[in-house]
Amino acid sequence: MRLSSDSLSHHLSPNLADNSVVCLMAPTASGKTALAYELYDTGRYELISVDSALIYRDMTVGTAKPTATELACYPHHLVNIIDPLQSYSVAEFVNDVARLIDECHKNGKIPLLVGGTMMYYMALLDGLSPVPDSDDNVRARVEQWRQEEGISALYDYLGKVDAISHKRLNATDTQRITRAVEVYLQTNIPISEWQRQPKQALADNPNQQWHALAVMPDRPWLHARIEQRLDIMWSEGLVAEVISLLENYPLTPNLPSMRCVGYRQVLEYLVQIQHPVFEQPHLDKAQFYDAFAQPEPINVENGNQNIRTQSCITQTHVSTANDQAEAIACQQMQNKALYATRQLAKRQYTWLRKVMQLSDTVTGPATESLIQLPVITPTAAAAFADINDSQNNKLILHSFSTMEQAREYLF
């Protein structure tokens, strides 16, 4: 049963049960971290990061990651857990959170989940369909098939084994067609059948009390905060950080880590100025140049046309940025990063509204990014045991327009 916290007559902190789980959800640059630190200082909480960028080691400036000193004072679970070359699925996140929640409760602490990756929150609160992860061998076979015969061959095959998915998917949707063929070859069950199975959500555990707190600040205020944060990232050396990553890892432009906002725009800039880092023997220069052969446009929306025009401030961090063309490219990079971050915040608002609409009767369809995931492991599955009495579980939903309101509610 999901309740609006408007019906509550008490604030969280004095009456928070020992089996509580608190989700502090808000868009980028809204001040989540500062409040999380304040809550940690009370001694009641452990911090669990809900951020798909903070998971990467050596990606600090562009992710606004807490400093080493801050992490020492305010330890975060699920920060710096993989290299930029690796991937980390939503199902892996759910499994890790299930384990960490149990550990926090055993330590006498309340798990405080804080971050801005709303897809992660939806997986926790609304659940995942149990589509199994791809087998590496099957994935390799399907990829070879696609390269040899084209995506049309896979699409035709899908029509024979999974008519529902064949009808639903566009014939050019390479990613989803490939995934659907992989699932069938691996399991002999169409992905459409997997997707019809009931979803599992950690928040449905009757032995835990979940509180989902969403902060949705005024957008002009948030846009100013985003601009300030980007100024800090440029001055602290985001471009230099990306160059260092390229020097130390055999990266490709389509890795999840390199698709993070900010990093993507820096990669495009480095290609445009033909930075010598791409001559590193462990890098495939052609991949980067092909990926950014056509500069990605800034599709500025009405009301978002006040994109920054100040002089490029990354010139002090890239020695080759010394002529007019490179300065223009650098400025375009900053503009695109600002726009992309604003668009990220816009998507986060949309996800937050979806979270706040969760109820027992309206769960909403799973998005493609959620249903194409590995099956939950036994560790997480144990968290779903004995969920027959759904009335014992109450997901308390509450929204705020400022972080200060959330603070007052919590304290």
Pick from 392, 274, 390, 272: which is nearest to 336 by CA? 272
Please check whether residue 49 is in contact with residue 79, taking contact to mean a CB–CB distance below 8 angstroms: yes
Handedness of CA 58, 73, 35, 233 (dihedral sign): negative
Please tell me the predicted confidence (pLDDT) of residue 295.
63
Question: What's the angle, vertex CA 134, arms to CA 146 and CA 385, rounded to 5?
Answer: 155
What are the φ and ψ backbone dihedral angles of 181, each rounded to 5 degrees? -65, -40
In angstroms, the CA 189 to CA 3 distance is 37
Pick from 395, 347, 340: which is nearest to 117 by CA? 347
Pick from 9, 409, 53: which is nearest to 212 by CA? 409
Pick from 291, 288, 287, 281: which is nearest to 248 by CA? 281
Segment holding 245, helix H or strand E: helix 238-248
What are the φ and ψ backbone dihedral angles of 62, each rounded to 5 degrees? -75, -15
Please tell me the predicted confidence (pLDDT) of residue 373.
33
In angstroms, the CA 190 to CA 181 distance is 8
Other beta carbons less than 10 A from residue 186's beta carbon: 16
Alpha helices in 237-391, H assignment, sequence order: 238-248, 263-272, 285-291, 324-356, 368-371, 378-381
Structure tokens at 125: 């609160």
Alpha helices in 115-173, H assignment, sequence order: 118-125, 136-149, 151-161, 163-168
What are the φ and ψ backbone dihedral angles of 270, each rounded to 5 degrees? -65, -35
In angstroms, the CA 122 to CA 128 distance is 9
Pick from 357, 367, 251: which is nearest to 2 by CA? 357
Please tell me the predicted confidence (pLDDT) of residue 333.
96
In angstroms, the CA 23 to CA 125 distance is 10
| Per-residue model confidence as pLDDT tens for the chain (411 residues) | 444 444 333 455 656 889 999 999 999 999 999 999 999 999 999 999 999 999 999 999 999 999 999 999 999 999 999 999 998 988 899 999 999 999 999 999 999 999 999 999 999 999 988 888 778 899 889 989 988 998 999 999 999 999 999 999 999 888 789 999 999 999 999 999 988 888 889 999 999 999 999 999 999 999 999 999 999 999 999 999 999 999 999 999 988 899 999 999 999 999 999 999 999 999 999 999 998 987 655 554 444 444 443 445 444 444 444 578 888 999 999 999 999 999 999 999 999 999 888 854 333 333 322 223 334 454 454 444 433 333 345 788 989 999 999 988 888
Question: What's the angle, vertex CA 285, arms to CA 281 and CA 286, rounded to 5?
Answer: 140
In angstroms, the CA 133 to CA 91 distance is 9
In angstroms, the CA 386 to CA 287 distance is 50
Q: What type of residue sits at position 276?
A: P
**Model confidence pTM above 0.85:** no
Kindly write down the DSSP assignment for every residue of 178-230, as one continuous string: HHHHHHHHHHSS-HHHHHHSPPB-GGG-TTSEEEEEEE---HHHHHHHHHHHH
Question: What's the angle, vertex CA 159, arms to CA 154 and CA 164, rounded to 5?
Answer: 120
